[in-house]
Structure 1
Amino acid sequence: MASRLRPVLAPALRILPRTAAARVSSAAAISARRSLSLKSFFTSRKPATSDPFTSQFEPVLEQADLFHPLSKSPLAPVRAKADWIAAHGTCPVCKEQDSHSHSHSEISEAAETEKSKSKSKPPTYECPDCGYPTHCSEEHYKMDKEHHKHVCGTLREVNEDEHDLRSGRRMKEFEFPGAQHRDEAVNLSNWDTFLYTRGFLSMNSERSMRHVSHVLTYPLTIGSVLHQSSPYQLGKDLTVEGLKSLAALRHTLHPAMIPGITQSQDLRSTATHTVRIFCLGARAESHLPPHIYMQLAYLFPTTAFQIHFVGPDAIPPHTKSTESHQHVHYEQMTFVYDNSRYESYHAEAGPFNPYYDVFFLFSPGLAHPSTKDMWKPTIPLLLDTKCAIFGTGFDERDVMNDVAEIENAGYELDWLMKPRENVFRSLKHEINMTDVRQSAQCNWGIWGIRGRRYDVRPSDQ
């Protein structure tokens, strides 16, 4: 064996000092002899040096050990969550009893509040099946078990997902692919086809799909609406006016191929247009790392983007800056963060062009009592731009409440997209911490409007 290795090692040995060459030759011979040992077939040998990237992932929890009652979790943030629910949540049986007793009594509002406080108890008893604190006692838990079983599976799923995210394992599903070759088509029919045609690592579980969809729901909701291969079609989802508005944007986003550019060149360096995406009332979408939004940019390789996050909670991720207006540049994208109200930002951002500008309102709460007044001065300004406006909601009720609020306000507008379920909604459920019976999915539904445009027609002569 050693004699067969010498011709291969000879060129390297000639350029090494004699002593070094002798050591290499000796080491090669020893290695060759060891490779023939029967012991080597049955004994696992650890490499002398481990992969520094892989070695940094030391799981705190194994995949078979993801379920824990929240208060007994080995992870401090999860235990803190149990404490918060116990402090601010409500036992559903107590709540129902209070409601029933109040409906049959005639007492003052102040006395009713005191009575409610005295009877309601915090949810400190944890369901053994989902691990969430759901009721004030085992007795009330058993009384309400018939209702609780409808949400128990979702709560357990969320429990295990949270432990998985904090388990310390290498999250391979978050290792996203880079730019795609221009001749490779992307299928935006659903999550599965998108991830497959974009070259994501294989998702081996529904849990991995939930993790990825929760992170990518914002850029993919935008991309699925604007892309020429959008899953939303005329008649079924889009109105005629909707197709007109999207055709204007797609004319900018999908320009004819630029002459003189070869397939091997980086098309991102040839961007000839800048499209502005305004995310108003921005919250979670503004906290995503910039590289997440590159999955949107990869769908439109010849377009540069400016993404404007506007709202009191629009804060760049991983920053301690207190400036109210910030710019972050990342490859072909520029991110603008402004924590002012949109009505004060509108004049600075104008003028607007329906070919280059589009608005997204992610779960804005247009009809929610705590936020509806905030949107009243904003919606007329958006409609006045004649640019496309798309909104999302947490669930069907949230979407239809916002739609009803818009329709009842008497605005001059055209509907671009009928309210419907969002193809790229998050597959992960978010739990209402004050009432764990309630859950929602980020960007569950989607709708679209635009300020009404009137066709100019010649008057009869």
Structure 2
Amino acid sequence: MLRGIRLCTPITQRRTIIGFVRNALGLDPPPSPDDPTPENRFHPWDQSPAGDLRERAARIRALAQCPVTGKEINYTCPLSGIPTHHSKEAWEQDKKYHESKKWEVLKKVNIYEHDLRSGRPFPEFDFPQELEFDRTVNMTNWDLFFYTRQFYSMDTEFQLAAVTKMLSYPITIASVLNQFSPYYLNPKGPITLEGLKSLAALRYTLYPFENKTVSATKDRPMRLFILGARAEALLPGHVWKQLQFLFPETAFELHFVGPECLVNKEKHQYMSSSSPVVKRVDETLAFVYHTDYFHVYHEAQDFFPYDPYLDVFFCFHPGFGAPESTKLWLDKTMAGLLDTKCAIFTTGISQSALVRDLNAVMDKHGKEIDILMEPTKNIYGSTKWELNDVNPQEVYQFNMYIAGFRGKRYHAIEI
């Protein structure tokens, strides 16, 4: 990971130098006053030109408590533009808030949200299409991925925040499965020997022309199960297609599983269906929505048979260890997941959240688990800062840490 950071810096510097030279020679037009900057994207939320951000400010005032007084929040931090304290006096007394410069991250939350609502052109959302046959994608980090994949040159934090939040889900999956994955085998990396076995099986399917024999199991698409699906199930097809472009010889079915995976966008409410809802993007990519919990389908054998060469599970910040969801995850659902013997990867919004989730799983099912990937920083986590409205001093980024495990596969014993 440190190597990834070092590799990123020269490219950024080179682009900056090239941009400076082009501007000096008059080859580029002068910057537009509408181009996003921290200055022109900053508005206090309770006075925001965006109505939904004014509503969020009101929600914070109604739900959150001042970290100093424990009372309701009535004061908007002038540095971040977000309601954070009961009064100006409480804000001034909060030494931890000022010494840690928490307001700097909160300000980023503010300006990122206003940029998305600014109405500016978003050329960074013009994603590249099929991968050229003679081009190799570098998966070391976001910067090299964008550069070698020929994305629009994203030179500002605003462009990165907007695109990485959207692409974090498909490219996180791709970075784990890719043969040029940035995650290495122990001790240099977080992948365990058991993890290498599971990934080798999946890559056998993903790269058929590199195998001497044709896999007999390639009679159906590879299934990517995304459990507890929410925001990831709302991403449009062209976003998930970026995953399929990286494995052009493979057809995928994305199975979104959970009561919040299917939304009626007109009525803004969740939908349920007694049968799977299928939406096909093209002949190589299909979405399948299952609106109940995984264990329901597992017990009914709807997903049988499972195949470690063709099936893999992802749980994006599921909250295995969160008090409000532990029982829901760790009883029938986790037992069913481990029973599949397929690889399971999970992410967290922080290191502590991911470790808490893994500890909860190990405490309940430790004897039945093989660790595939030790907890590590997710190279393809979102760079956009998010805010917890119930606690406005709690900020996070999606998919910041990642780990993997599976149900233990016992070796045959001679008797």
1:183 partner SS:
coil
Counterpart contact for 1:234–1:240, Cα < 8 Å: yes
2:84 partner SS:
strand
Q: Decide which of 396, 402, 406 is 1:446's aligned counterpart.
A: 402
Is 1:351 the equivalent of 2:305? yes
Counterpart contact for 1:69–1:131, Cα < 8 Å: yes
Counterpart contact for 2:226–2:314, Cα < 8 Å: yes
In structure 2, give the amino acid aligned to 1:174: F
The size of the alignment, in residue pairs, is 366
Matched with 2:83 is 133
Matched with 2:93 is 143
For structure 1, the residue ranges without an aligned partner over 5 or more in a row are 1-57, 96-119, 260-270
Matched with 1:393 is 348
Q: Decide which of 308, 323, 330 is 1:369's aligned counterpart.
A: 323
Counterpart contact for 2:36–2:158, Cα < 8 Å: no
Counterpart contact for 1:309–1:335, Cα < 8 Å: yes
Counterpart contact for 1:148–1:437, Cα < 8 Å: no
The within-5 A match list for 1:294-443 is 294-315=241-262, 318=265, 322-324=271-273, 325-331=276-282, 332-346=284-298, 347-375=301-329, 376-411=331-366, 412-443=368-399
* Closer/same/farther in 2, CA of residues 231 and 316 from structure 1, 3 Å limit: farther
Counterpart contact for 2:253–2:288, Cα < 8 Å: yes
Distance 1:316 1:86 in 2: 28
1:391 partner SS:
strand
Is 1:81 the equivalent of 2:32? no
Deviations 1:91-113 (A, max 9, x none): 11112xxxxxxxxxxxxxxxxxx
Distance 2:52 2:36 in 1: 14
* Closer/same/farther in 2, CA of residues 317 and 243 from structure 1, 3 Å limit: farther
Distance 2:265 2:147 in 1: 30
Distance 2:229 2:103 in 1: 31
What is the CA-CA distance between 1:147 and the residue it aligns to?
2.1
Distance 1:272 1:216 in 2: 29
Matched with 1:68 is 43
Distance 2:362 2:37 in 1: 51
Matched with 2:111 is 160
In structure 2, give the amino acid aligned to 1:352: Y
Answer 1 or 2: which has greater helix percent.
1
Counterpart contact for 1:251–1:355, Cα < 8 Å: yes
Counterpart contact for 1:429–1:440, Cα < 8 Å: yes
Is 1:250 the equivalent of 2:200? no
What is the CA-CA distance between 1:64 and the residue it aligns to?
4.8
Matched with 1:291 is 238
2:312 partner SS:
strand
- Larger CA deviation: 352-361 vs 77-86: 77-86
Deviations 1:267-295 (A, max 9, x none): xxxx9751000001111111111111001
Is 1:277 the equivalent of 2:252? no
Counterpart contact for 2:277–2:288, Cα < 8 Å: yes
What is the CA-CA distance between 1:299 and the residue it aligns to?
0.5
Matched with 1:25 is none
Is 1:196 the equivalent of 2:155? no
Distance 1:62 1:368 in 2: 37
Deviations 1:12-63 (A, max 9, x none): xxxxxxxxxxxxxxxxxxxxxxxxxxxxxxxxxxxxxxxxxxxxxx979988
Distance 2:246 2:199 in 1: 15
Deviations 1:342-368 (A, max 9, x none): 111222111100000001111111111
In structure 2, give the amino acid aligned to 1:408: D
Higher relative contact order (CA 8 A, sep 6+): 2
1:92 partner SS:
coil
Distance 2:168 2:38 in 1: 25
Report the aligned-residue RMSD: 2.2
Matched with 2:15 is none
Distance 1:237 1:63 in 2: 37
Counterpart contact for 2:74–2:86, Cα < 8 Å: yes
Matched with 2:19 is none
Distance 1:322 1:366 in 2: 24
Matched with 1:264 is none
Distance 2:90 2:123 in 1: 42
2:280 partner SS:
strand
* Closer/same/farther in 2, CA of residues 393 and 306 from structure 1, 3 Å limit: same
* Closer/same/farther in 2, CA of residues 133 and 406 from structure 1, 3 Å limit: same
What is the CA-CA distance between 1:78 and the residue it aligns to?
1.2
For structure 2, the residue ranges without an aligned partner over 5 or more in a row are 1-32, 213-217
Distance 2:89 2:164 in 1: 38
Distance 2:263 2:133 in 1: 31
2:376 partner SS:
strand
Counterpart contact for 1:286–1:317, Cα < 8 Å: no
Deviations 1:180-205 (A, max 9, x none): 11221011111011011100010111
Counterpart contact for 2:264–2:271, Cα < 8 Å: no
Larger radius of gyration: 1
In structure 2, give the amino acid aligned to 1:371: S
What is the CA-CA distance between 1:456 and the residue it aligns to?
2.1
Distance 2:350 2:369 in 1: 24
In structure 1, give the amino acid aligned to 2:359: A
